[in-house]
Structures are given as C-alpha cells and as structure tokens.
A and B are shown apart, each in its own frame.
Chain A
Amino acid sequence: MISVLEFQRRSETGPVMEVNDFDMVVASTMKKLVKKYGITYNPEELVVDDETADKVFQATVEYLSTVGLYNVSTFRQIQFTKDEIEEIARDYRENPRTQVFGRGKEEITITPRTGKDSRPPVAMVGSTGPIQQEWHVQFTQSLADEPTNHGMGCSGGIKSVDGIEPKAGTVTELHCALWEQVALLEGLRRAGREGMHLGVLATVFTFGGVAAVLKNGLRDQRNTQLGIHLMAEQKLDYSRLLTAYFCEQNGFQPWTSATSMIGGLTGGPAGTAVGLLGCLVGQLAFGHGNLGSMVTQHLAGYAGTREAIWTYSAAARAAERNIGVPIGGIAGANHYLRGTPVTLYQQIATTIASTASGLAYLWSVGVTGLETRVAVDAMQGIAGMPRDKVNTLLNTIMAKIDGVMPGLKPTERYLEFPEFYDTKTVKPKPKFLATVKQATEDLAGMGVPYSSGLVID
C-alpha cells in the first residue's frame, strides 16, 4: 500500500496542471475508455452481469493510471501505475476487511458481501441535508426508534442554532457542531439506543473543528467516521491527506465515499460507474479504509432512476468481484417528490438493486424512519435472490414509476421532517402513514418479497 506521506510527495512532484485541463483529461479519457471497453448502459438489466462488472473494473484501472488524482492545494496531478492500482485491489481481495462500530447491544460488524449472499446488508440511515434545530432530536429519535436500523451513515447537518449558522473555519462552526453532537446523543437516548454508530461528522468540516469535537468526548472511534472523500472528479486537498493520516494514527475509520455525477465529467451511466470505482480506489489508496461507500445522482440533483440504479450496480458489482472491500451505498429517491408513493418505489428499487449487487451496508438517506422500515424489510427479503429474478422485479417497479411520473409535479422546495411526522409524538402523520402503507402494498403487489410480518402503523 502507498503511504499517506508518499501521497504528499507525489502531490509536490507530480506534473503541474491547470484544474480545467485536468477536468478535460478526466472527461475525454472516460469517453475513450467507455468505448474501448464496450461498457453499455442497459435499462432493462439494472443489476449488471459479471462481464459488465469486470469491464468496469478493467476500465477503472486504466482510468486511474491515466488521470490519477489532482491535488488542488498544489495544482499537481498525483500519478499511479497500473501495478500499484492492481496491488491495492489484490491486497483488499486477499485480506478481507471488517469494521466494528457501536457499543454494547448496538455493536455492529460490517464485512464484505456479494450479491449472492443471503445475509442482507447492514442497514444505515440518516440525512444528507441540513436539519433544523427545532426537530433535530426528534428526527434522530425517529430513525433510532426503528429496531431494524443498525446505525447512522450520516447524521445530517444542523442548519442553525438559535439563529447562528455554522460557518466553516469560524467559531460558529464549532458552536453548532457541539450542539449537534449533544442533540444526536439525546435522540439516541430517547430511543434507548445510546451506543449506536453516528456515522460521518457532518456540520464540522475543518480539521481544527473535528479535533475539538473529538476531544470533547462526544464522538469517538466507535461512533464516528472522518471524511477523506475526494471532490468530483478525482480531486483532493491537503485536508484530506491530513485527515487520513490522523485516522491512521488514532484508530478512526475514514469515511471513504466515492462520488461521481451522471451527466457530469464522466458522462452517462457507463462512464459514471467507472468514475465511481476510480474515485473509490483513489481514496482506498491513501485512506487505507476498511469500508467504501458510493454516491451517485444526476447532475440536476435527483436519484432513483434507471440510470442511477444501473450505475450503482455496475460500480458495486465491479468492486464486489475485483476488490472485495465492504461497499456501501445510498438508497435514495427524487427528494422533490417526497410524500408521494414514487419516493418509496424509487427507494425500494434502489435498495433491491443494491442488495443484489453485493453492497455490505446500505444507507437509506433523506427518508423517514417509517420508510426505512419498509426498505430494511425488503432488503432482508431480497438477499440471495437470483439476479435474473431481481431484474424482472426491478423492471416491474420501474415500469410502474415510468407510468406515474408524468402526472407528478416536483415540489418547489425540499419538504422536511415535520411535514411527515408529528414532532411531539415522533410518529408519522396519518396522511403520510396512509401513503406509505398504500405504496408498500403496491410494491408487494409488484412482487417485492417482504421478509416478515411488516407492519405499517
């Protein structure tokens, strides 16, 4: 494995390049590689076959050995050889990683998983969007109240505390982040799940702020990951290397999270799958993490489409077959359709495809506790189902979505938690409950095999 110090050396000695030129190299390389390896998006086969998965991996090795990474702190390219990339993958394959989070009855162990595994992924929950102070505790409690949720992938970020907004690199960043940690622990306490994993730190981003939160004792190695994620596409700065080094020296698990946007520099689903895997391997190279998550959506900010699901599957299956690091993903949907059955259809479709594509943990993000209950149950029911059956089921769900989408109008703003849950009782509001119940029944009618006596009430 390449050391973090070596990454600094390469950051200081690699070819100097303007950032625009690097972006152009990324985009043009990807277009050529997608053609060279014949990677084709197939909307009818959302869980990809072995051959496609392996092509994505081969293209990734060439992609990473061509573009490498880019350090925005030094304006230099960080280069890899093909041998180094293959060695990283081999090391993960031959030495499977496991990761323990949580304490006491909330302890969870994440291990590598394949799409054929009858063991379902570990169920993570949370939010990527900002959370309001007024309902922060209740939101956390609502997710922890669901006994089948194992931990938080990300706790979201606090919008403001008593009117004070967190501003990066200032005292308010730390002020809000500290308030947030106390609120998170209170949400877990109310749900009786104090030892639960809380995922990546959200509100606090600067290294000084992270250190202060950790020193305070509110977060530690068992409930926290620290972000070392690349910026799209393939870019890092010294703060990422600094955090990776800190994690390595202090027993923290880095939050290795690959991002590539459909319609962005990597082009369509085929290129984005390669971009996701390239981003992941690039982070594993310097972060040496035990886990790696993947995030994709369309450039316009929505997910849950055939393109997004196929992209996830292609990247996840490529990782499953060729690297073996426990992979996580986001079961997301079009958040501007929240409150309609379509978000649950999309979330369940992504959940099903991810489960069958070998994800080791799955993060139901931007949805309520009630919706995660359905997703986890579907995950348990789908684990081990043959790929062809999964694809048939996915086509049925996606056809249903295609049928109802034209009649839906996205909301102009992101609908927040209190629109769906009563914040006093921390229970779903009747109208939302009825919508989820109906959508759950619709999905059962389409063939979603819930694992047990799923109760929506």
Chain B
Amino acid sequence: MELVQEIAQAVSDLDNEKAESLVNDSLAEGVDAKLVLDGVMVGITQVGHRYETGEYYMLELMQAGVLGKKLIKEITPHLPKVEGVKPAKVVIGSTKGDNHDIGKNLIITQLQVSGYEVFDLGVDVPSITFVNKAKELEADIIGMSAFMSTTMSHFSEVINHLKDIGVRDQYKIIVGGGTTDTAFAESIGADGTATDAVEVVKLCHRLIAESEAVIA
C-alpha cells in the first residue's frame, strides 16, 4: 500500500521523473502490475480533486493526462490478459458548424486515463458521422459538444436519427458545452451532461454502470 501511495503522490504532484521511475522500477522488480496501476489511478483521481478545489488549473489536468497515458502504456503489457473483456468505447466530437474543442479534448484525455477507449471525431462533425461511427465501432457512449445555440440543435438531430433507425437504446448519449444544462439535456432526450472533464468521467462511469460495458 505504501507503494500505491508513493506513486499516487508523485502523479498527483505531477513529478514526472519520480512517477516514471517508481513505475518502471516496480515493474522491473516484479511488483504486481495491478498495484502499480492502482497507484497511477489514485494519483489521477487526486489531480481531479485538486482541479475541483481550484488548486490546479487546466494545464495541470492536461499534464496529468499526458503523464497518466504514458504510465498506463508502460504498465499495460504487465497486466494479466482478461479474455472477453473490452473497454467501454466513447465516440466524441463537436457538432456540425462548431469548431470549439478545448473542453472536448480535455474530456478525451480524462476518459482515456480512466480506462475508456475514445474515438475523437474532431470538430465540425456532420450528424450522420456520429451515427455511422457509433454503429461501426459499436460504441457504448456518444459524446457531443457544442458551444453555440445554433450548433447545439444538432444534438437532437443525432438523437432523433438514432431513434428513427431503432438503435437509440444501444447508446448512452452525453452532451455538453455552451449553455447546455441538465434541463436542456433531458429535454432533447440525452442521457446526461456535465460541467467539466472530471464530472464527465463520473457521468460516464455512472452510465456505464447502468449498461453492460466494462471500463478497462
């Protein structure tokens, strides 16, 4: 447990050198990779808390994302293979006409370090692309971001299309950005919205818990 806390502290403090050294040394010494991963994940969670309390800003959240992804890449080959378990998949993008992407990009990083397989469709994404990619990749969650009222209206276009082809229930749909709030999300038939990247991860965890998908 001491090792878990030590790795977590290094990640939480964004001490890249120490975190990488602890992870690599532990793996080389044959320490259980699950314990090492626990340390990284606890550290990432702590960064989220520090962001929520205003101690950290977006830069630190981004840096933690980059560090987390790097460490997880090191740890993954040492984890036992679990047959038949696939990570939850998220297809995400900014809707047609919308080029705003900071929030979306931050969410992608946070979801990736939290174990999701994320497919970034980019910005200015036609509604049909959300539908087709979600079908093609067998996504669990479709995430849509829009900053302007005229681009937010594409949310319902995607949702209605999914309904009309009879596959709405196969996906959890999250929307966000601009003036999107819970009341609006409910009114268009989305499954949820959140105010920042940390909250989006919590929302996805909750939605995935309601479905059969698994977070890696």
Contact = CB atoms under 8 A, between A and B. Distances in A.
Contact of A168 (B97, B101, B195): B97
A165 interface: yes
Interface string B124-135: 000000000000
Interface stretch (B27-35, B136-144, B149-157, B161-169): B149-157
Contacts of B58: 27, 263-265, 267, 299
9 contacts: A19-B105, A20-B105, A24-B63, A168-B96, A168-B154, A206-B97, A235-B99, A265-B58, A414-B179
Contact of B57 (A20, A167, A264): A264
Nearest to A240: B99
A181 B98 CA distance: 23
A54 to B, nearest CB: 24
Contacts of A157: 148-150
Contacts, number: 93
Given A27-B59, A301-B195, A166 B99 contact: no
Interface of A: 19-20, 23-24, 27-28, 30-31, 72, 129-130, 157, 159, 165-169, 172-173, 203-206, 231-233, 235, 237, 263-265, 267-268, 299-301, 412-414
By DSSP majority rule, is chain A's interface helix, strand, loop, or mixed?
loop
A300 B195 contact: yes
A205 B148 contact: yes
A130 B179 contact: yes
Nearest to A30: B59
B57 A267 contact: yes
B153 A31 contact: no
Contacts of A24: 59, 62-63, 66
Contacts of B149: 130, 157, 159, 166, 203
A165 B153 contact: yes
A272 to B, nearest CB: 10
Nearest to A164: B153
Interface string B80-101: 0000000000000000111111
Given A19-B105, A159-B149, A168 B59 contact: no
A130 B109 CA distance: 31
